[in-house]
Amino acid sequence: MRLLLVEDNVPLADELTQSLQRQGYAIDWLADGRDAVYQGSSEPYDLIILDLGLPGLPGLEVLAQWRAGGLSTPVLILTARGSWAERIEGLKAGADDYLSKPFHPEELQLRIQSLLRRARGLANQPTLQAAGLHLDEGRQCVSRDGQDVQLTAAEFRLLRYFMLHPQQILSKSHLAEHLYNGETERDSNVLEVHVNHLRRKLGRSVIETHRGQGYRFGGVVE
């Protein structure tokens, strides 16, 4: 999952970036509201974390321009401002959730997971489940029939994206755009390797190849 972090506090941004990367997210970071308006509208993010007190353009104006332009990406607002009035302003502008600083890293992690599931119509699932698999995002492993299957970091990122998009045909370019940040070189051959590793661990039928189109997750786990 590819996230955009818009935060002008450099130490906090560094801390969040490292934490989110450990959780398997690809992170792009910006510190200026003007840059965020363009970047958020032009790149395929799965979720945006937005501070309100930004240089260049306030966070609420950034959010308003995104929504006015038709951007439906979930937006989680981070801010030190804790008044009810500002919370309401953020929600009216189109925010999906609101977290006041300081916050516990685990709370941010759980809110992100919840927003991503909600965006895919999976809000009622306490954990990510698809095709008979249960994904433990905290331990970055998957279980079937009560037995854990260990995953590498890359396999976990790919499987999580598949499980959030079951029964959809996803092209290699689409997967690359959502699994890597803007600075990472994207190689479709590497994706093929990770898909094959998942098939060996979970069964070949769980990920179908649609020639010339991409992959579809959701077959029967062998």
CATH, residue 137: 1.10.10.10
Residues 144, 164, single domain; the answer is yes
d(CA 158, CA 175): 8
Residue 222 placed within a domain: no
d(CA 13, CA 116): 21
Residues 106, 175, single domain; the answer is no
pLDDT in tens, the chain (222 residues): 999 999 999 999 999 999 999 999 999 999 999 999 999 999 999 999 999 989 999 999 999 999 999 999 999 999 876 677 777 888 899 999 999 888 898 999 999 999 999 999 887 777 899 888 999 999 999 998 889 999 999 999 999 999 999 999 999 999 999 999 988 877 778 999 999 999 999 998 999 999 999 999 986 555
Residues 114, 135, single domain; the answer is no
Domain extent for 36: 2-119
Residues 54, 28, single domain; the answer is yes
d(CA 214, CA 202): 19
Instruction: Tell me how crowded residue 173 is: count the other CB atoms within 10 A of its CB.
Output: 12
Residues 99, 168, single domain; the answer is no
User: For tokens 């509201």, what's the residue?
Assistant: 33
Residue 32 placed within a domain: yes
d(CA 140, CA 136): 6
Return all residues near 191 (Cβ < 8 A) that are at least 6 apart: 158, 172, 175, 176, 179
User: CB pairs under 8 A, 24+ apart, for 195-201?
Assistant: 195/158, 197/152, 197/155, 198/151, 198/155, 198/158, 198/159, 201/149, 201/151, 201/155
Which of 119, 142, 174 is where one domain is finished? Answer: 119
Residue 198 placed within a domain: yes
Look up the CATH number of the domain holding residue 68. Answer: 3.40.50.2300
Contact 44, 119 (CB under 8 A): no
- Number of domain units in the chain: 2
C-alpha torsion sign, points 122, 5, 85, 102: positive
